[in-house]
Amino acid sequence: MPATYDSIASTTLGSNQSSVSFSTIPTTFTDLIIVVQAGNTTDSQAQNIRFNSDSGGNYDLMWLRGSGAAVTGNLAANQVQGYFGYFVVPDVSANDFISTIEIYDYNATDRWKSVVVRDNNAVTGNFTGTEALTWWWKNTAAITNILLFPNGGQFPTGSTFTLYGIKAA
Amino acid sequence: MPIIGTIASSIRVATNSYESISTAVVQAGGSQAVTISSIPQGYTHLQVRGSVRSHSGTTGNNNTFSLRFNGDSGGNYWRQRIYATDNAGVGADFTGTTGIDIGNYTFTPTSMYSGVTIDIVDYANTNKMKFAKAISGHVRDSSFGRLFIYGGYWNNTNAITSITFFSVADSFGAGTQFALYGIKG
């Protein structure tokens, strides 16, 4: 059976950055996965993602979030970006937030792009939130560029972002 | 590959612990069930990556699909789910059933495929019941959406040799696919 789940690109930040981008993505895989371990220099900032530089209202999201003893769920349609996590505490460490972003059929041109996210965030001595999201990018174009950026602040030094490709038989 | 705004490093690492086994694709006309059979027994875990859409395109707003192992359609499954619905609804429930509910999709439009990743651990171990878990969901429009976290088990220690995905109230539309992967441990 053919081995798959290949690391396409990986970066560890040597300084604070306002965004990370994966571009010129190979067309040979079926799905993409992005694994993030990061932080944010400013607290309570949404962690955003855009495909092919699309900043229009073309993202529909559902989330289910637990933080402390509270559980919340919600829907947000026609957003100007997708989303891969949310910080709820002040956090400048590069190790207090993890997120796995699964992007299905990224190269197909007959369907919107479906995404499932799992993320957790914590600060030393305290665990502050876990979350699942599902969302669509309402565009049938193949994904050729992925931009990750916080609503405010920056990803701190030491944050890691790795892009994997999975090819179906 | 360029990575803007960062100190970039690219690596390509060949891996031989995650392998693609087979992919089942629904053809024109749709299908209410899809079966992956003759699953090789040489892995530790299985993962199924699915893209699912509706065949009818008109019935209701949300549809659940389920899985069965080895053709067992008896009441030998249990599942728990946590969910979010529309704006601000959350809940959880548990049931015994004839298959593990494992994913959801909506009915409109035809370009709307719901992605799902299903993990099945220790599938070939004859000392353990078989567990499956997944996250699945969709947003149909600004007022209707679903997100489910599923966990379930098959009350049987047999090794899994086939997996059947089936839609309860609808059929899978053409282009729906379930890709099976094996993970060595």
**Which tens digit of pLDDT belongs to each residue from B43-97?**
999 999 999 998 887 656 788 999 999 999 999 999 999 999 998 789 999 899 9
Which residue in A23, A110, A169 is closest to B175 by CB distance? Answer: A110
Supply the pLDDT for residue B108: 67
Determine the Cα–Cα distance for residues B117 and B144; give it in Å rounded to an integer: 22
Q: What pTM was computed for the model?
A: 0.92
Helix (H), strand (E), coil (C) string for chain B: CCCCCCCEECCCCCCCCEEEEEEEECCCCCECEEEECCCCCCCCEEEEEEEECECCCCCCCCEEEEEEECCCCCCCEEEEEEEEECCCEEEEEEEEECCEEEEEECCCCCCCCEEEEEEEECCCCCCCCEEEEEEEEEEEECCEEEEEEEEEEECCCCCCCCEEEEECCCCECCCCEEEEEEECC
- Burial state string for B57-93 with b = 16 or more CB within 10 A and e = fewer than 16: eeeeebbbbbbbbbebeeebbbbebbbbbbeeebeee
Residue B15 has pLDDT above 70, yes or no: no
Chain A: give the shortest CA distance to residue B99, in Å.
Answer: 23
Nearest CA in chain A to B14: A6
Supply the pLDDT for residue B5: 41
Question: For the residues B3-32, what does the mean pLDDT come to?
Answer: 70
pLDDT class for A90, splitting at 50, 70, 90? low
Optimal mutation site among A114, A140, A147, interface B, most CBs of chain B within 10 A: A114
Supply the pLDDT for residue A96: 75
Task: Answer whether A4 sits within 8 Å of B90, measured CB to CB.
Answer: no
Task: Answer whether A168 sits within 8 Å of B17, measured CB to CB.
Answer: no
Residue B11 has pLDDT above 70, yes or no: no
pLDDT class for A103, splitting at 50, 70, 90? very high
Supply the pLDDT for residue B168: 78
Supply the pLDDT for residue A83: 94
Strands (E), A39-159: 46-51, 59-67, 70-79, 82-86, 97-104, 113-123, 126-137, 145-150
Stretch among A28-37, B2-11, B111-120, B153-162 having the lowest mean pLDDT:
B2-11
Supply the pLDDT for residue A12: 95
Find out whether B170 and B137 touch, Cβ atoms under 8 Å. Answer: no
Residues of chain B neighbouring A13 (CB-CB closer than 8 A): 6-7
Percent of chain B with pLDDT over 70: 89
Residues of chain A neighbouring B175 (CB-CB closer than 8 A): 110-111
| A133 near B CB under 8 A | yes
Residue B13 has pLDDT above 90, yes or no: no
Select the highest-mean-pLDDT range: A2-6, A86-90, A144-148: A144-148
Question: For the residues B16-23, what does the mean pLDDT come to?
Answer: 92
Residue A155 CB-density burial (10 A; 0-12 exposed, 13-18 middle, 19+ buried): buried
DSSP A148: E
Supply the pLDDT for residue A127: 59
Percent of chain A with pLDDT over 90: 68
pLDDT class for A97, splitting at 50, 70, 90? confident
Which residue in B139, B177, B180 is closest to A62 by CB distance? Answer: B139
Chain B: give the shortest CA distance to residue A126, in Å.
Answer: 24
The complex's ipTM works out to 0.90
Supply the pLDDT for residue A91: 57
What's the half-sphere exposure (Cβ side, CA atoms, 13 Å) at B72? 21
**Which tens digit of pLDDT belongs to each residue from A122-167?**
765 565 688 999 999 999 999 999 999 999 889 989 999 999 999 9
Question: For the residues B28-55, what does the mean pLDDT come to?
Answer: 95
Percent of chain B with pLDDT over 90: 71
Supply the pLDDT for residue B20: 95
Angle at A83 between CA A89 and CA B147, to 5 degrees: 100
